[in-house]
Amino acid sequence: MNKGKLIKAELYSRPNAKKYRAAQLGLDDLSKVKDSDIFFLETLQMKANLADKIIAKAESEGKDTTDPNIMKELGVEINAVTTPIHRGESVMTAIFVSLQLLICYGVAIGIWGLVFKRSFLEFGLYGVIVGLLINLLVVPVVAFQRTKWRIRDVVDGVGITFGSLCLIIGLVGLIALVIRLIFF
């Protein structure tokens, strides 16, 4: 058996497999999913893992998970967190994050070219190179996320970490430029 068929068999053999249908998770009929789409099947497997944890937590709290209404409520919660996306969407998000970092660092470091009475474009090129180096870390992480929720978290983290750094570099450069223009 190939890996895709093994994942499907594992999903069908889980103790909560019948509950997935009641929760409307899309894990009950995998016949439409190609065996070769390993990325998507692994995402569904992760969804099933989360569903099992949420179902176990609900059962430990005394909820009747055989009740279709309770399972629908749990399904809404699970689907909100684990809706899988196509790999192309995560790759496109990674490309947009990459371009944003390149432009931000190009402009922020380009300002320093004006501070040092050099070319904005020359320093902007240095900024783009810094952005490329940061992208070596960021792009693979974003591109391999499997849910919109995870992509949002990773992109937010990138923005907070590297976007804040870029903002600080740019603002300090602007302050230095204003001081140079006023006093020198």
35 plus 13 within the same structural domain = yes
70 and 16 belong to one structural domain: yes
Are 108 and 135 part of one and the same domain? yes
Same domain, residue pair 98 and 78? no
- Conformational region of residue 24, where left means phi above 0, alpha means psi within -120 to 50, and beta covers everything else: left
Among 63, 82, 101, give the residue marking a domain's end: 82
Among residues 174, 136, 176, 141, which one has the least CA distance to residue 156?
Answer: 141
71 shares its domain with 93 = no
Q: Please tell me the distance from the alpha carbon of residue 66 to that of residue 18, in angstroms, as a whole number.
A: 10
Range of the structural domain that residue 69 is part of: 3-82
pLDDT at 75: 86
Last residue of a domain, one of 61, 82, 103: 82
Distance from C-alpha of 127 to C-alpha of 112, rounded to nearest angstrom: 10
pLDDT of residue 138: 92
Domain final position from 27, 53, 82: 82
User: Which residues of the chain have a pLDDT value below 50?
Assistant: none
Q: What is the pTM of this model?
A: 0.62
